[in-house]
Structure 1
Amino acid sequence: MLSLSSGFLSRMAIDAQIDKLFRQTLILSKLFTKSWGRPTTLKELYLFKKECTSQRLMGDFVDEFRPNVIVKKERRSNGVYCGEFRTVSPHSLRFPAHYPAPVDQCPFTVVMPERGADRVCIHLAGTGDHSYWRREYGLATPLLEQRTASIIVPNPFYGERRPDGQYRSSLHNVSDLFVMGVSLISECLFILNWAKERYGFKHAAISGVSMGGFMASLATSNIPYAVGCVPLLSAVSAGPSYCRGVLREAIPWDVLERELRDRDYVRRLEEIPGCDWIHRAHENAARNNESLARSMMDILMTEFTHLYTYPTPVYPQATVALTARSDGYIMHDGLPMQDELWKGSEMRYIERGHVTSYVFCQNIFRECINRSFEKLEQR
């Protein structure tokens, strides 16, 4: 028993060390090196969230701004159908200024059994995942055995949607992260509606690892019908990771602090209707003895990323969330777990770290996806 316990603790220590090395690699490239974002963009994002996504009204928005879908390529081989398509983010049709080229373009790939499928899962990209390969061969291809189709979507600001001058995952502006979120909410809903009509899918789910899992939760909150949600190795808010955890050292706080000392910039933020970010940031900074920039980051991350500011899904029982107990990358930091926030959802745990789970536990990810579909089918 002692040797087993020692081996288990040793593996946990190794996993933690791997996560630490991963963190150190991440902070070599800085995040948010330019700005908090244009005040006009932050204003439009804030008001749109207040009027639309916090009310689960994205369905009405997508119906109004319905983009075309272009077929790039379709092929069939060894009983598998693969279709490559392109559309534009519905959100970009109303707010084009939020999208430096080619962020508004939304390519996606459909992989399914040639004879059809009843189930389809959208797979969103995790932090640093700029290709289709990992999701296609780790998730989509094995899921074909359960007659489950997959749709692989690259995140805005990632892969072929990365704007000129952006290095890998190093978003230029804090607002870019919020644009990514609202874009994926609109894209997932539009693509699911299109795919159900084109292919006849009966059940749908949205999944993702790490940041992709968080984005899957955001998207699910605005689907006006029952879908599964499978957030893997993610939290209910991005705030702790950016403000106190893994990504804190990757942020040039001095750049963001200077912008909050710019009177014209601050004035334009203060003019946003119903918005008191600047006032609260000063109060919190004084109370917590921290910089104004860190206080502002915490406020904005809570405003735009915390799941409690979005609707609970229509059928939360089809949510199956997975958390790594030795995760040294994703911070929960006193936040509620997914099953506490979305009553009826299922919480699963794995005795690994963040990176080792991502590399070695794809089979468990697939189990969670299948479990979500089982719950939908039993409904």
Structure 2
Amino acid sequence: MSKHHNIYKLYKWHSLVDSVYCSIVTKLSSEQFFNKGWGDRVSFEKQHSLFVEKLKQWKEARNFGKPLQGPSIAENQLQWTYDSASSYSSSSPSYILTRFNKKQPWLWNRVAEVWKLRLREACFLSPATEGLIETGSLSSFPGETRMARFLVVEPLHSSTSTLVIHLAATGDHGYNRRLFCFALPLASSGISSVILENPYYGSRKPAHQVGSKLAYVQDLLLLGFATILECISIAKYFSEGFGYRRICFTGLSQGGLHAAMAASLYPLPVATVAAFSPHSAVPVFTDGVLRQSCSWNQLAATMNEALVTESLCTIQHTEGDSHQIREYYDQASSQVGQYVDRKEQTVLSLLSNALALSDIRHFPQPANPRAAVLLAGENDKYVPKDCVDMFSRAWPQMEIRWIPSGHVTGFLFYRQHIFQAILDSLARV
């Protein structure tokens, strides 16, 4: 009896941390997610068609064994803005320089010196802009978000050709968290890293956005689309230009989902580590604790501007895929209906449809699904347990590792498990 009681208390503690943390962040913020509503319907429909067409092309290429034609970075498109090896900085404003010291990048020089590293920052035009220009919907992708930035962390005396690309979790602004928690420990093992600053965060945050709270539902899909293309572009650039042969895409929470999506579209086998990540953004905002951080009143007040209809959210799949995904959303809507009134249920249903493209099951399996690891928290209040089952159905050869933690405590106290998962996944490439 005592043993079961202690397990229950431990479960309650991890879950409580998630709930309390989310409540505190929500109360401290002056805005909620989607506080300006749904976004521009006309541009969304164009973008939705673009996303669907790209996914269809990539999935057909994967199914028929054809090479996937992904985005890339031309040498003349990339601008290096900082290099610790020469204390070089270009005239282009560097996030490193403006964020930490406007005169001298002393912090980064010191980090490079102590850890025996070379740190470099670069920027390039996000490849997402190309498709948005073609569809005439670039205006919905704010100017601040269009220039991608990344930090390269390279051990000075390493002979390995291994690279890990770190994508950001929700609210992970800048480079610091991923640099000190993951990139520096990996550098001690001779492994290089690239830390991408996601659109809508840090120096890429739109002027109208408050903190990490995306103003429009449309922003979440644009964030994902741009992040995936930027990740693939960076991987191809370092693979072809610098000889990196073993590459891992990784991230926590939202970053892990984007890493998995990028891996599924990358033309070569890569390692993938998704930590405490959902299979889709839908249950995170409709069923997890983040639900309390959404501006439901604003979404309800602007329902006539909702981005999608039932016909628009339909995506081509095999019959089995379509049946499973539709069954999942029907079940979710049924459960929602037990707790909310009809108007709220309508808003939740509209949001589920609008975010349908964020589901990993819409993407092809990666070239090497055996090199994928999903770490899941047993007591995660942000990511419902059903997400793990959905993820494993999409990638049945992926390894699932259950961690006795919640979402927040998983990051705080189980980073070594993530580090080990990265090493293990790389060993399978």
Tell me if both proteins adopt one fold, taking TM over 0.5 as the criterion: yes
Whole-Å separation in 1 of the counterparts to 2:354 and 2:9: 38
Corresponding residue for residue 17 of structure 1: 16
Q: 1:97 to 1:254 in 2, by over 3 A?
A: same
User: Residue 413 of structure 2: which of 360, 363, 374 is its match?
Assistant: 360
| 1:118-133 map, 5 Å | 118-133=161-176
Corresponding residue for residue 258 of structure 1: 301
Structure 1 contact 104–156 (Cα < 8 Å) conserved: yes
| 1:191-210 map, 5 Å | 191-210=234-253
User: Residue 147 of structure 2: which of 80, 87, 105 is its match?
Assistant: 105
More deviation, 242-251/30-39: 242-251
Structure 1 contact 74–83 (Cα < 8 Å) conserved: yes
Whole-Å separation in 2 of the counterparts to 1:67 and 1:209: 32
Corresponding residue for residue 166 of structure 1: 209
Q: 1:292 to 1:337 in 2, by over 3 A?
A: closer
Displacement of 1:7 after TM fit? 4.4
| 1:225-304 map, 5 Å | 225-260=268-303, 262=304, 265=305, 275=312, 288=337, 289=342, 290-301=344-355, 303-304=356-357
Whole-Å separation in 2 of the counterparts to 1:328 and 1:299: 22
Structure 1 contact 285–292 (Cα < 8 Å) conserved: no
More deviation, 27-36/328-337: 328-337
When normalised by structure 2's length, the TM-score is 0.78
Displacement of 1:245 after TM fit? 2.2
Structure 2 contact 72–237 (Cα < 8 Å) conserved: no
Whole-Å separation in 2 of the counterparts to 1:197 and 1:358: 33
More deviation, 94-103/215-224: 94-103
1:69 aligns with 2:78: yes
Counterpart of 1:73, as a letter, is Y
Q: 1:149 to 1:335 in 2, by over 3 A?
A: closer
Whole-Å separation in 2 of the counterparts to 1:67 and 1:178: 28
Q: 1:374 to 1:331 in 2, by over 3 A?
A: same
Post-superposition CA distance 1:111-154 (Å, at most 9, x none) = 01123431111111112211311111110011113221110011
User: Residue 118 of structure 2: which of 81, 88, 113 is its match?
Assistant: 81
Whole-Å separation in 1 of the counterparts to 2:195 and 2:156: 17
Describe the SS at the equivalent of 2:375.
strand
CA RMSD of aligned residues (A): 2.8
Counterpart of 1:355, as a letter, is V
Structure 1 contact 65–93 (Cα < 8 Å) conserved: no
Counterpart of 2:177, as a letter, is R
Whole-Å separation in 1 of the counterparts to 2:10 and 2:346: 40
Post-superposition CA distance 1:267-312 (Å, at most 9, x none) = x966x9x6268xx99xx989944532111011222x2111111111
More deviation, 351-360/114-123: 114-123
Structure 2 contact 278–284 (Cα < 8 Å) conserved: no
Structure 2 contact 267–367 (Cα < 8 Å) conserved: yes
Q: 1:254 to 1:66 in 2, by over 3 A?
A: farther
Describe the SS at the equivalent of 2:80.
strand
Displacement of 1:74 after TM fit? 1.5
Structure 1 stretches of at least 4 aligned residues deviating more than 6 Å after TM superposition: 64-67, 284-287
Corresponding residue for residue 52 of structure 1: 54
Residues matched between the structures, number: 365
Describe the SS at the equivalent of 1:112.
strand
More deviation, 23-32/212-221: 23-32
User: Residue 156 of structure 2: which of 101, 111, 114 is its match?
Assistant: 114
Displacement of 1:75 after TM fit? 1.9
Corresponding residue for residue 32 of structure 2: 30
Displacement of 1:27 after TM fit? 2.8
Q: 1:269 to 1:370 in 2, by over 3 A?
A: closer
Displacement of 1:61 after TM fit? 5.2
Percent of aligned positions that are identical: 26
1:185 aligns with 2:232: no
Q: 1:231 to 1:334 in 2, by over 3 A?
A: closer
Counterpart of 1:42, as a letter, is F
